[in-house]
Structure 1
Amino acid sequence: MRTSSSKKTEGWRSTERRKEQRFTLILRAGILEQGGKSSLCIVRNVSSAGVQVKLYSTPVLDAKATIRVADELPVSGRIAWINDDVAGITFDEELDAPTLLRVQQRIRPKRRRALPRMLVDSTATVQCGGRTCRAKVRDISSLGTRVATLRPLAVGNAAMVTFPELPAIKAYVRWCDEDEAGLVFETPIPMQIIARWLDSQVRVIG
């Protein structure tokens, strides 16, 4: 019997969408940190006093939390309310005008740099250059991943990367630095798929 999660994963692999439509689904991404655990979320609205986010994990109501968008420093606050999979976070201190403007710009659709990378302790299988190797996954986002392999991967080569419990994903090697390499996915992983995968891993660093 197939689970709801597996059906959604298959739907991601089989459904063709225009790239801009896919980016609209994943670009307003942030990292919610609470109680030593990091999880992905969608930033819906932000003001100087707080932020509204769509959740992929269950936070603790009326408890401290931090939210991070792109390369901005984490902003601390408190989970003020939760309604199904949406929550409101009130900031401990109001954002100044320049910071608020930067964050608002970073969560606009079609801004690829707004996608956060999550540090994760996991493994994957990488097929590249006619060979198959095991890799350690250092970090991952909807658009790509950083992996460590025993032998360097060749920049520009096509690759096939398989994470535990996910279908194989076509990618290419964007950069390589000794034993580490950056892979860019041919088709971005939808936020809900990658968020659930991260939540299922034994150890997410954040």
Structure 2
Amino acid sequence: MDERNCQNRRSRRSQVLLVAKLEHGGTSQAVKLRNLSAEGALVESEKLPIEGTSVHFVRNELNAQGRVVWVNGHYAGIAFDSKLEPSEVLRHVPVPRPKLQPRYWRPGFTAREMTSEQQRLAESWVWSPSASRPGE
């Protein structure tokens, strides 16, 4: 789980970007789930319920009753009525893919002979006017 900015939090939050659903007032709306913890979630949507609205948060088989505790622009904080088990939270957090380490490698110089055609092309390039050379 993410340990940044958790000094003011009661529980650690995991940064995610997943699709979830908020159900409230007989309607259901899709939201982007931005982070998730045992006690709440940060969601994003064009239209959000107002502060204080009771909501039912749904992400796959994760269902939690809660309420909107704050709204700021397209973001809203959802506080769950009961704390989720850490294993339940982790089940909905994707495992990060390992970062690919760049492999810096260049071929070594070899002492093989050039063909007569390669020799002719190299000499014509060296003796050609510099305006026709790429990068100059």
| TM superposition score normalised by structure 1 | 0.42
Aligned residues: 97
Unaligned regions of 5+ residues in structure 2, if any?
98-136
Residue 197 (structure 1) aligns with: 92
- 1:150 pairs with 2:46: yes
Unaligned regions of 5+ residues in structure 1, if any?
1-30, 32-37, 39-67, 73-111
Partners of 1:169 and 1:71 lie apart in 2 by: 22
Partners of 1:113 and 1:71 lie apart in 2 by: 5
Distance 1:175 1:114, change over 3 A: closer
Alignment of 1:26-175 (within 5 A): 31=1, 68=3, 71=6, 113-166=9-62, 168-175=63-70
Cα distance, 1:195 vs. partner?
1.3
Amino acid corresponding to residue 141 of structure 1 in structure 2: S
3-state SS of 2:91 partner: helix
- Tell me the percent identity: 22
Q: Identify which of structures 1 and 2 has the higher relative contact order when contacts are C-alpha pairs closer than 8 Å and 6+ apart.
A: 1
Instruction: Confirm or deny: 8 A CA contact 1:172 1:186 kept in the other structure.
Output: yes
- Give the aligned CA root-mean-square deviation in angstroms: 2.4
More helix by share: 1
Distance 1:141 1:132, change over 3 A: same
Please list every run of at least 4 consecutive aligned residues from structure 1 whose deviation after the TM superposition is greater than 6 angstroms.
none
The higher radius of gyration belongs to 2
| TM superposition score normalised by structure 2 | 0.62
More strand by share: 1
